[in-house]
Every structure is written in C-alpha cells, then in structure tokens.
Amino acid sequence: MLRKLAAKQHTQPIRGPFTITRIKPSNILDEDIGDSALGPLSIIDHAVMKKGLTIKMHEHVNDEIFSYVWAGTSYHKDSAGFEAPIAPGKLMIMNAGFSFWHEEKVKEDHVEMLQIFIRPEETDLIPNIQFHHKPTDNRDWYLMVGPESSGAPLHVRQNIYILDAHPNEGDQLQVPVYKRFTPFLYVLNGKLQVNDLTIGRQEAVTDLDSPLPPITALKDSTIVLFYIDRYATVSMEGTISGIKKHK
C-alpha cells in the first residue's frame, strides 16, 4: 500500500539566514516508533542558506553525510585539507567515522540543498571524504550512492542506495527495484502523480511491501530516490544520525 509523507508533517528547527526543513523518514509510518529514522536513513535536512552565511568549523562523529545541492554554490572546507565548491552536479559525501570537521560558506546568491544523515554500520570507522560530478539534467534515474561493494560512484558504510532524476512535465518513469530494500521517494522540487496520490515539493512516498508503481511528472521536477535496508545493523553513536527523535 502506498504511503505519503506530507509537507505539513515536517518541522523547521532552524529559521533565518540558515533555514532547515527537517524530514523525518519514519513519519511516513502509521505508528510513532520513537525514532526519526527509517532503517539507517536518519534524517533529511532540506536547507536554504542565504548569501554571506558561514557555518563555522564543527565536528561530526559516526555520521555518513551526503550533500546534494540543488541551487547555488556552497564552499566546503574540512579537517582533511580539502576546499571545494559544492554545486548542482557536484556531489559530496563525508564519511565522518571517528572524527571529521568541516565548514560551509555561501559567498554569492543563496544555496538550496539536502544534507542527508545516514547511520553507519559500525562505530568509529576511518574518516573519508568523496566527490563526484554528475549531469544536472538526467531525466531518468542516476545512481549516486551505494554500499562500498555496489559500484556506485560514491559509497556509504551502510546498505542504502540513493538515485536522482529530473523528469520534465509529462514524463513517466518506471521506478527501479532493489530486492529486499524499501523505497523512499522524495520530491525536492516539482510535483508527481503516483497512482491516485499527488506528491508535491518536500513530500515523499513509499510502499513497505511492494515496488513503487510508475510515476508521472506533473511539473518539471527534481526527485531523490532512496532504497533502504530497514533491518540493517546500525551505529547509534552519530552526532546527528544517532539522535533517535530529532526536533
């Protein structure tokens, strides 16, 4: 059975020059499980950052963090010595492990992005950072993230896959199937028709038992598709991902 996560279910724990809309994946379930996460997918922060903002150097421990920029450019600096602009089509994963520090700046325009927090399979793994360039106009699915053995261009230390697509209005997409994984489809921008459900901006859809049916774009859209092993072993020691009930 299809389940929808409506935009009205989200919170905004931070507002102002740095505004976060916090998506708690477990809210798509009927019951309150006392945790924000759906399997290892802990939270999705849909962030908007205004020109001139600096998020000062801060530490993450035991978080796998995928940064997906939809608009603008965020300037990244970290304890590993990397400095890089993160923009549409340039993806970044911070595998924080036992300690990783980073800073973000917005120098021009504004930035709209997702910061996706995943619980790793083990505590205190080796820190790492990864970058990958991809098209920004792929109308069909593009595999961005997967487990270390998956062959995906970016990896996380967990059983989770992340894809995106940018369908134009009227496009119909078949949704891929990953056996024994639960789909969670998030609309960053635009609007979809999924059977009799309309899924708009900052909303999500899943089916806990069956593959998702084909989707139709009612507007030009940017969509992010997760495949989650809901029964994966996870570390609960993450700075952000390990918090069971986020504000």
The distance from CA 133 to its chain's CA centroid, rounded to whole angstroms, is 17
CA distance 87 to 233: 32
Count other C-beta atoms under 10 Å from residue 48's C-beta. Answer: 20
The pLDDT score that the predictor gives to residue 231 is 96
The pLDDT score that the predictor gives to residue 175 is 98
Count other C-beta atoms under 10 Å from residue 61's C-beta. Answer: 19
**Residue segments in the chain with a per-residue pLDDT below the cut of 70:** none
Tell me whether strands 11-14 and 18-23 are parallel, antiparallel or unpaired.
antiparallel
Please, what are the domains in the chain? 2-228 (2.60.120.10)
Burial of 228 (0-12, 13-18, 19+ CB in 10 A): buried
* Average pLDDT value over all residues in the chain: 96
The pLDDT score that the predictor gives to residue 247 is 75
Whether this model's pTM surpasses 0.85: yes
The pLDDT score that the predictor gives to residue 109 is 86
The pLDDT score that the predictor gives to residue 108 is 87
